[in-house]
Amino acid sequence: MNKRAIAATLALPFAIWWLTRTPSNQRDWTPDNARVPTADFRGDSVYVHNVRNADYRTTADYTVRWEDRAYDLRQVERAWFLVEPFSKDWRGPAHTLVSFQFADGRFLAVSAEIRKEKGEVFSPVKGLLRQFEMTYVVADERDVVRLRTNFRHDPVYLYPGRADRAKVRALLVDMLTRANHLAAHPEFYNTLTNTCTTSIVGHVNGISPKRVPFSLKVLFPGYSDRLAYDLGLIDTNLPFEQARERYHVNARAMRAGNSPDFSLLIRGLPANGTPSPVGR
């Protein structure tokens, strides 16, 4: 038997295993991934179920609250784009998410992530091998943002998006519709094709076709803020490096702590909820 035949014989069991794996919503999930969000749309209102609002003591010690919340889609004002680089040495690996600001001062974050089973740790290689399901976490910012700034101590950049209210509303509806789809039809995460950032790009391009072209800055999302800036998707007139410094929110997040005005304080907005211009 030649080397090619031996290699093919050895690879066959793996190929069968890989091709026959199917995604599932029925696994032994970590507490913070125990539920999936769903949304009921009723005219101009949306009722979001299983909004995560965890209270962290450490990254591994937390209490999860799952909440049902109602939002008036006519009050959606702005989308914010968050970038969390994982390394100080190379910005490439990162997490991204979108958060939505409402006229009443509330914020709702939507984050495409792996859905972790107990004992699982993310690995880019495993992410290519159908090892993780994809989920959309819909959460309070005191959960998903504070987790990253105050407990993981990763650098977090939170940029105001440039889009009219109709497009922001359409983006939120599209992302919540996708959450509904994943609740009924689970999918595998894929490190190249089905990630946090490719998901956001898909939603944006579904609203404004071909607004975001293919770019390595999508595959290496630590650079995705530069791509968004170059495409005019960040609402600022500052030079890029100054904008990155302006929207680096860690210091403000540490000062805000668990304040009920956390979302406003990390943006430098008045704590009474009064909207004000940012980054101009």
Q: Say if 257 falls within a structural domain.
A: yes
* pLDDT tens per residue across span 196-242: 999 999 999 999 877 899 999 999 999 999 999 999 999 999 999 99
pLDDT at position 83 over 80: yes
Q: Say if 276 falls within a structural domain.
A: no
d(CA 147, CA 63): 12
Q: Say if 160 falls within a structural domain.
A: yes
CB-count exposure of residue 215 (10 Å: 0-12, 13-18, 19+): middle
What pTM was computed for the model? 0.90
pLDDT at position 1 over 70: no
Which residues, including other chains, have CB under 8 Å from residue 112's CB and lie 6 or more apart? 97, 134, 135, 136, 137, 195, 196, 199, 200
pLDDT at position 54 over 90: yes
Task: Label residue 270 by pLDDT band (50, 70, 90).
Answer: confident
Q: Say if 7 falls within a structural domain.
A: no
Q: Say if 194 falls within a structural domain.
A: yes
pLDDT at position 39 over 90: yes
Q: How far is CA 32 from CA 18, 61, 90, 118, 213, in A?
A: 27, 11, 28, 10, 33
Specify whether the CB–CB gap between 156 and 149 falls below 8 A: yes
Q: Say if 147 falls within a structural domain.
A: yes
- Choice between 238 and 5, residue whose per-residue pLDDT is larger: 238
**Count of CA atoms in the C-beta half-sphere (13 A) of 34:** 10
pLDDT at position 107 over 80: yes
Q: What is the mean pLDDT of residues 248-261?
A: 96
pLDDT at residue 18, rounded to an integer: 53
* pLDDT tens per residue across span 121-153: 999 999 999 999 999 999 999 999 999 999 999
Task: Label residue 7 by pLDDT band (50, 70, 90).
Answer: low
Q: Say if 210 falls within a structural domain.
A: yes
Cα torsion at 208, 100, 68, 143 (round to 10°)?
Answer: 130
For the chain, the domain total comes to 1
pLDDT at residue 220, rounded to an integer: 95
What's the mean pLDDT when you consider all of the chain?
91
* Percentage of the chain lying above the pLDDT 90 cut: 84
pLDDT at residue 91, rounded to an integer: 82
Q: Say if 218 falls within a structural domain.
A: yes
Q: What is the mean pLDDT of residues 148-172?
A: 97
Domain that holds residue 230: 24-266
Q: What does the block give as tokens for 150?
A: 């105050």
Q: How far is CA 42 from CA 1, 136, 174, in A?
A: 65, 21, 15
Task: Label residue 261 by pLDDT band (50, 70, 90).
Answer: very high
pLDDT at residue 90, rounded to an integer: 81
d(CA 61, CA 54): 10
